[in-house]
Amino acid sequence: MKNYILVFLVAITALTGCKKDKIGDNDLNNQKIQGKWDVISSRSVTFNNGKKVEDEEKFASGTTVFEFAGNTLNYIQKNGSKESYSFTIEGDEVIIREDGNSAIFFKLKFNSDTQLELSQSETETDNNVTYEESFTYVMNKL
């Protein structure tokens, strides 16, 4: 009888002690982003010394597709042109590289399982003028 209780306790300890592998945020975001995304709008805002000088929003459904396949981003335009880049995800950022040296960092935000926002901002000072530019792409999953 003692042997049965001992086997039972060992079995319960083994079952409750096993941990399921937890998917990290990077892997989860990488899984969610895979596939084709239709750019439905893009917005560009420019400031010079804090003063808005340009605010342009384009609604462009059906003209540009971002295709995330593995670690490759294909930028496909309606006219058939296609550019390919490598990408990685770190936290809430998508890092896009054209070559081994230069990188563009986009903030990654899922509005839902079928809608994604990628946004980027840059600040530069030249001759005592501070230029700020931001870009946002809103996409729906195809």
Residue 1 pLDDT > 80: no
Specify the higher pLDDT residue, 131 or 99. Answer: 131
Q: Does domain 21-141 have CATH number 1.20.1300?
A: no
**Residue 23, pLDDT score:** 52
How far apart CA 87 and CA 68 sit, in angstroms, is: 9
SS3 content of the chain, % helix, strand, coil (to 5): 20, 60, 25
The residue-averaged pLDDT of 2-15 equals 46
What's the pTM? Answer: 0.74
Mean pLDDT of the chain: 84
With vertex at residue 41, the alpha carbon angle to CA 35 and CA 47, rounded to the nearest 5 degrees, is: 125
pLDDT bracket for residue 19 (50, 70, 90): very low
pLDDT bracket for residue 12 (50, 70, 90): very low
Residue 30 pLDDT > 50: yes
Partnered with residue 138 across adjacent β-strands are: 41, 117
pLDDT bracket for residue 6 (50, 70, 90): very low
Tens digit of each residue's pLDDT (9 = 90 or more) over 52-103: 999 998 887 889 999 999 999 999 999 989 999 999 999 999 999 987 678 9
Domain boundaries, the chain: 21-141
